[in-house]
């Protein structure tokens, strides 16, 4: 049986391009004892993948040249020699940019398509949703009445952060690129305000959107956005550094100028990766399932079709062209 997969063939200098990837055909290796074969139905595309394309030290090993690109997936078990997984079951894992994968089950969990649509397990009920829950509630710990600012507010993580902030009684302010996204953030998602960072008045608009200052900044973007937040932070504010997408394709990093605010306002700025806090996943997922069922968390997806569309969709997401969670439908 044939497999198709997308491998990394060169490392980007600055912006990644489609030439960094190659679609390959290989033959599926049958599963050995203790393994099973999965047909991936959905592939998740996320900003962190840009970091894995660089051969630099980070929290996770980068992708080697010639290796299949890393990525979260939902798929169906089609053949199993593993006692814990049966053919016909659906699973969520990080099985990569490919149609089929053989796995020993490490990091793979079963998902129930009757409880929620399968792709939700790559978004609001998957890594992005749990990232929002952990980063906001465990790292930043907002209190009712506080102002929470989240960048990339229409994205898979940011959209959930702001809606959780509202559930917890906070003022939720989004930062997003363009009027259409901002309209979605304040309209469908119910944020109190949204700042268009492309409008060229970041400081003034953020000040107007957060008239009492910022208590919590949930940072997905970095660069000038983080600098603008630092200027408006309140004493004892918290900044969760979840992502810095503005920097991932930069050849020269942006210099943060307002770091003095960390001292004068006694801020706590903390980086985190959801995989360091896997013990919180069940608690987070239970909340998220309930909130989605109750209609308190709304959610949008952008879907590309076919494995071959993944590189283009990924690059578009890095430029902010997607709307909500970026997925690839593989079947």
Tell me if 307 sits within 8 A of 99, measured CB to CB. yes
Among 107, 169, 235, 306, binds its own copies (CB under 8 A): 235
- Determine if 276 is a binding residue for its own copies (CB under 8 A): yes
Among 207, 249, 258, 302, binds its own copies (CB under 8 A): 258
Among 156, 244, 288, 310, binds its own copies (CB under 8 A): 244
Nearer Cβ to its own copies (262/285)? 262
- Determine if 255 is a binding residue for its own copies (CB under 8 A): yes
In DSSP terms, which residues pair with 52 in a beta bridge?
none
Q: CA-CA distance, 58 to 220, in Å (whole number)?
A: 17
Q: Give, as one character, the DSSP assignment of residue 220.
A: S
Among 115, 198, 266, 305, binds its own copies (CB under 8 A): 266
> Phi and psi at residue 25, in whole multiples of 5°?
-110, 135
- Determine if 226 is a binding residue for its own copies (CB under 8 A): yes
Tell me if 162 sits within 8 A of 154, measured CB to CB. no
- Determine if 263 is a binding residue for its own copies (CB under 8 A): yes
* 27-44 residues labelled b (16+ CB within 10 A) or e (exposed): ebeebeeebbbbbbbbbb
- Give the x-and-dash track for 55-94 against its own copies (CB under 8 A): --xxx-----------------------------------
Q: CA-CA distance, 316 to 311, in Å (whole number)?
A: 9
Among 19, 208, 259, 293, binds its own copies (CB under 8 A): 259
Q: CA-CA distance, 124 to 131, in Å (whole number)?
A: 9
Closest CB 247 distance from its own copies, rounded Å = 6
Q: CA-CA distance, 10 to 313, in Å (whole number)?
A: 18
- Determine if 155 is a binding residue for its own copies (CB under 8 A): no
Residues lying near its own copies in the complex (CB under 8 A): 51, 57-59, 222, 226, 235, 241-244, 247, 253-273, 276
């Amino acid at each position: 049986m044939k497999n198709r997969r997308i491998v990394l063939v060169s490392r980007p200098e600055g912006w990644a391009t489609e030439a960094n990837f190659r679609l390959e055909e290989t033959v599926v290796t049958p599963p050995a004892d203790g393994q099973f074969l999965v047909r991936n139905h959905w592939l998740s595309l996320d900003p962190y993948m840009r970091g894995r394309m660089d051969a630099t030290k980070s929290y996770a090993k980068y992708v080697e040249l010639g290796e299949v690109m890393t990525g979260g997936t939902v798929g169906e078990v089609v053949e199993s020699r593993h006692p814990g997984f049966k053919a016909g079951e659906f699973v969520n894992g990080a099985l990569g940019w490919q149609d089929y994968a053989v796995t020993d089950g490490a990091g793979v969990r079963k998902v129930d398509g009757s409880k929620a649509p399968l792709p939700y397990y790559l978004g609001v009920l998957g890594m992005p949703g749990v990232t929002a829950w952990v980063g906001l509630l465990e790292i930043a710990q907002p209190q009712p009445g506080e102002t929470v600012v989240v960048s990339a507010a229409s994205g898979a993580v940011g959209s959930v952060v702001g809606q959780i902030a509202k559930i917890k009684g906070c003022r939720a302010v989004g930062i997003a690129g363009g009027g259409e996204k901002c309209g979605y953030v304040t309209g469908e998602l119910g944020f109190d305000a949204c700042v268009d960072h492309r409008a060229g008045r970041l400081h003034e608009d953020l000040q107007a959107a957060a008239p009492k200052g910022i208590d919590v900044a949930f940072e997905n973007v970095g660069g000038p956005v983080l600098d603008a937040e630092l200027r408006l932070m309140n004493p004892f504010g918290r900044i969760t550094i979840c992502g810095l997408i503005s920097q991932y394709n930069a050849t020269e990093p942006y210099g943060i100028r307002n770091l003095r605010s960390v001292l004068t306002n006694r801020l706590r700025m903390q980086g985190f990766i959801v995989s360091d806090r896997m013990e919180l996943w069940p608690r987070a997922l239970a909340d998220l399932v309930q909130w989605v069922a109750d209609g308190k968390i709304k959610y949008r997806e952008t879907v590309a079709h076919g494995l071959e569309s993944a590189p283009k969709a990924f690059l578009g997401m890095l430029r902010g062209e997607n709307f909500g969670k970026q997925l690839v439908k593989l079947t």
